[in-house]
Structures are given as C-alpha cells and as structure tokens.
C-alpha cells in the first residue's frame, strides 16, 4: 500500500459523538476529543468522528470553578491553546498554590505549594532534616523551603526555569480564570476545529429496547439528534447518566459534610486581602470555609458550608462581610451532595464534570477531573460494540481517582484541633476511610508518606497538609542520625537564602501580567 493511501475506517468505528451540555465541561470535552481524534483535522472527515454539542443559553452554568491545578497547562497545550491568549481572554491570573487559614486551629496558616520543598541535598528527604533541626531549636516554618511560597508571599511571578540545577525549577503553577469566559473561549476554539454547536434544550433520551443504549436525544423544539457515543455534561441534573441510564450515586457527605455554596465577585481594593496575590486563599470558619481568587478584573469569592450548622442567610451575611471590596453581584447559591456516580460510563454514555459527581473546590480539582475524564476516554476510546472490558476499566480508574482526591480533602477536615463549633468537633472525631487513617498514622509515627498507586496529589501535597495542620511526626528518618557528615543546618540556611534571592529578582505578579497577558 502506498503511504498516500488512506486506511479504511472500521465498520464499527464511532462516527458521531454527541455532547449534552456546554460550560467548561462540555467545551473541554469537545476540544479534547476534537484534538485527540481529529488529529488537527476537521471532525467527521479523514476518518475522525463528527462532534455535536447541544446546549441552551437559557440554562445557566455553575461557573464557580475559577482556580485550577498545574495539569491544566498540559491540557491547553494538547488542544493547541496559546497560554497568553487564554489568560487574556479569561481575565486570568497565575496560581502558585493555596494558603490555608484557620484550618488546623484558630490563627493557623500554611501554604500548599505547587512543586517541591527546595531541592533534596541528600537521599534522605528534606523534611526529615527539617524535623531534626526543629527539634534542635530552629523554628523556621517548612513553608520557607518552598520556592512557590517564596514567590507567593512576596507577590512575585515568573515562569519556572528548565534548568534542574536552579531552585527556580522547583515550583509549578496553574491559573485563576473566569470559568464562563473559559467556556466561551473554548467554544470559539472548538468551532474553528469543526465542532458543531446546536442551540437547544434537551428534554429526553431515546434508548434502544435491545441494548439499552441511547440512540438519540430529543430537543424541546421537536428535533432529534442521533449519535453513537454520548457525553453527559448536563451538570448536577445528569440528564443521560442519571435520568436515562440510572447510574446510581455514592454519597460521601458523612465524610465531607458541606452541602451548599455561595459565590460572589467583588472589586479589587488597594491593600486588602494581600492585594493581587498569585495564589488562592481558603479561610475556615465555624461552619465551613471561604475562598478568595484574584482575577485581573475582579476577585472571585465564595463560601462552602454545612446547612446543618449555618443558615443560608447567615452564610451570605458572613461571606459579604469578608470581601476585599464592594460586591459586584448578589451571592449565587449552589446545593450539592458530595460523591460520585457509581458508574461514570454506562452503555454508550460517559459522564464528565458535575454529571459524574462533585467534590467541593477546596483543592481546585473540579476542572482537573473534567480533564482526566476526557484523557481517560481518549485512552480507552470505544467502537460501537462498547466492550464491557473497556467500560469497566474506565469506571475502575475513575473510581480510584475520585476516591484518592476524596481522601486528600478528608485529610484537611479531619486534621483539625478546632473545638469552637459543632462542625469541626464532628470532623475531628468521625471515623475516616482506612486509606486515610493509615496515612495519618504512618506519617505521625515515621514522618513518611504512603500512597496507593498513581495519585493526583503527590508527597509534597500531603506533606504540606500534615505539617501545616499539626500532624507532627514522632521521629525523623533513622538515617538522619547515621549521616553525620551532612551539615543540614548550613544546607537549609543556604536554601532559604537562595529562594529569597531568586524570588526578589522576579517581577511582581501584576507587572508580569501587564507585560505578558493583560486582558482587554
């Protein structure tokens, strides 16, 4: 066969993908699938499946997810998005991590950085040397060995260097952005790639009497759209995965009791809240917590709370009393039950985003779970036979990922010493999953992290929360006492000095944006 000849498309190949719902989830799914299977070509041509997205502008989107984690950079690169153009279009800013306030106890503050703690100067991990020096009287917080925090607390930002010998290579970053604008940005990007958008409200699904698969969706205006593979991005409603396919739901609210949120933007105010910070802040209060996310044109704020411990009106009053500047809208309510679908893929329907489940935005994972759902679908892309082997593998990996993220969130709630409210007393005393309890006990006894296969949050993330919220190890690695030739005190002091010098040499966050990606 000549190289110029095209291979015939299999008779069982997916020919048409129908995405139900827009917003970040719908348009990320469209972009990922178009880039992944269109291979830069127009979907529906050259053997690629056609992609149709159905959404209604009459249906609001949640759109509160304004903070992200570093893997989103890889997703944007894979779909061909230019970083500066994306940040400009979404009123975006940069994020080096999350500052947690009042989580361990009243007055407690610590930073969850993107990246590592310094550079390991010895085979024994750095934090064990820090533990030993602390026992000898050095009160330097662990945060001071993080390049990300060195930049964040000074309000500085620059791209990391690629030279692994430099401390400027040890941090990572993500973004803050307006999720509604991100959806619009991706829509334009997808339409340029050939994705077809249909403005309509979906009212029902038609299922095959023999296979149970969805054959078509019915629109309010009477139209019918058929497809081979259906992606449910309809949000909490779960129009296909819940209503049509009856996927079931696994409720995790006994571990993560917050069940409501309010979101409100406010204006920037000079000198308030630390200014235009290159990081997110999460501040715990008696019945939940409040977020602060600075964008170029405003600050995104919200509160996540337990309705069993505070009323909606009280939560709104508390939120509005802790804004940097005047509110730019009324607080927007959101109700949820933390958990996931028992099966994210049923038949020929795959749920992405809120249709697949909900984990509160404490560690900014909502958009990431959309991203990995799409990536996993591409890795296990089916044909029209929809083999149970493929579906079951997708569901197994998805369940494991969601459970490991759930465990990390539980860690924040359970590692608290607060006794000032019923919520925190409950969180400190409830029985956590065995996977969480083992990690807490192992770190407390030995200062070591244990893991369960691949995990989104790696050792530095768990270390930040363990130490930040007071789960101090009873001992350091025994090898520390054996390695008497290591001058840890000098090494740690040098690391602090180098981090400070490197951060001081970087531009301010606002200055970097003004030069690189200012919004119109």
Token pair in block for residue 449:
């992290």
β-pairing verdict for 339-341 and 249-251: antiparallel
Nearest-angstrom CA–CA distance, 427 and 455: 24
**In whole angstroms, what is the distance from residue 409 CA to residue 65 CA?**
16
SS3 171: strand
- The dihedral of CA 58, 59, 62, 63: what is its sign? negative
Count of CA atoms in the C-beta half-sphere (13 A) of 307: 11
Cα–Cα distance between 328 and 159 in angstroms, integer? Answer: 31
DSSP strand E in 201-348: where?
A: 202-207, 214-219, 224-226, 229-232, 249-251, 260-266, 280-285, 288-294, 299-305, 332-335, 339-341, 345-346
Check if the beta carbon of residue 34 is closer than 8 Å to that of residue 190.
yes
Distant-in-sequence, close-in-space partners of 187: CB < 8 Å, separation ≥ 6: 22, 27, 197
Instruction: Please name every residue paired with 351 in a beta bridge, in sequence order, or none if there are none.
Output: 232
Active-site residue among 16, 45, 95, 318? 95
Asked if 280 contacts 292 with a C-beta cutoff of 8 angstroms, the reply is: yes
Contact 217, 202 (CB under 8 A): yes
Cα(494)–Cα(383) distance, integer angstroms? 57
Residue 467's SS3 state is helix
User: Hey, which residues does 175 pair with through a beta bridge?
Assistant: 94
Tokens of 281: 């802040």
Which two tokens mark 257?
A: 């009791």
Q: Give the CA diameter of the chain.
A: 78
| 45 in catalytic set | no
231-256 per-residue burial string, b: 16 or more CB within 10 A, e: under 16: bbbbbebbbbbbebbebeebebeebb
Q: CB within 8 A of 192, min separation 6: which ones?
A: none
Exposed e or buried b per residue across 103-121, where buried means at least 16 C-beta atoms within 10 angstroms of its C-beta: bbeeebebbbbbbbbbbeb
Q: Which residues are the active-site residues?
A: 95
């Amino acid at each position: 066969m000549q190289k110029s000849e095209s291979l015939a498309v299999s008779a069982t190949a997916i020919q048409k993908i129908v995405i139900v719902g827009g917003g970040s989830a719908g348009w990320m799914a469209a972009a990922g699938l178009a880039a992944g299977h269109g291979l830069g070509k127009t979907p529906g041509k050259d053997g690629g499946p056609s992609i149709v997205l159905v959404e209604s502008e009459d249906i609001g989107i949640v759109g509160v997810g304004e903070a992200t984690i570093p893997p989103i950079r890889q997703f944007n690169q894979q779909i061909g998005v230019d970083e500066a153009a994306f940040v400009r279009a979404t009123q975006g800013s940069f994020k080096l991590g999350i500052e947690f306030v009042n989580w361990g106890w009243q007055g407690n503050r610590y930073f969850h950085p993107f990246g590592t703690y310094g550079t390991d100067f010895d085979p024994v991990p750095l934090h064990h040397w820090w533990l030993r020096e602390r026992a000898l009287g050095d009160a330097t917080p662990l945060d001071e060995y993080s390049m990300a925090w060195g930049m964040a607390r000074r309000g500085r930002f620059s791209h990391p260097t690629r030279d692994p010998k430099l401390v400027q290579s040890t941090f990572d970053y993500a973004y803050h952005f307006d999720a509604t604008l991100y959806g619009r940005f991706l829509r334009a990007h997808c339409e340029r790639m050939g994705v077809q958008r249909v403005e309509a409200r979906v009212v029902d699904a038609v299922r095959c009497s023999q296979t149970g698969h969805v054959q078509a969706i019915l629109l309010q205006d009477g139209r019918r759209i058929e497809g081979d593979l259906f992606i449910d991005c309809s949000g909490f409603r779960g129009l296909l995965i819940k209503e049509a396919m009856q996927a079931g739901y696994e409720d995790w609210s006994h571990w993560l009791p917050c069940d409501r949120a309010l979101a409100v933007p406010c204006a920037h105010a000079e000198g308030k809240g630390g200014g235009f910070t290159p990081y997110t802040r999460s501040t715990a209060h008696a019945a939940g917590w409040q977020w602060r996310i600075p964008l170029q044109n405003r600050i995104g704020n919200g509160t996540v709370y337990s309705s069993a411990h505070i009323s909606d009106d009280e939560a709104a009053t508390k939120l509005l009393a802790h804004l940097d500047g005047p509110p730019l809208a009324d607080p927007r309510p959101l109700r949820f039950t933390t958990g996931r679908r028992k099966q994210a893929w049923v038949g020929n329907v795959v749920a992405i985003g809120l249709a697949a489940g909900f984990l509160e935005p404490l560690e900014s994972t909502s958009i990431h779970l959309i991203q990995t759902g799409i990536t996993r679908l591409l890795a296990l892309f089916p044909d029209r036979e929809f083999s149970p082997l493929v579906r079951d593998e997708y569901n197994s990996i998805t369940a494991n990922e969601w459970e490991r993220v759930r465990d990390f969130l539980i860690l924040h709630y359970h590692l608290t010493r607060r006794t000032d409210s019923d919520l925190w007393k409950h969180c400190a005393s409830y029985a956590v999953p065995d996977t969480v309890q083992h990690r807490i006990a192992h770190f407390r006894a030995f200062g070591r992290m244990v893991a369960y296969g691949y995990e989104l949050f790696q050792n530095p993330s768990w270390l930040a929360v363990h130490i930040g919220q007071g789960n101090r190890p009873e001992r350091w690695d025994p090898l520390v006492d054996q390695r008497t030739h290591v001058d840890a005190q000098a090494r740690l002091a040098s690391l602090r000095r180098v981090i400070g010098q490197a951060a001081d040499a970087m531009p301010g966050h606002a200055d970097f944006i003004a030069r690189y990606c200012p919004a119109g």
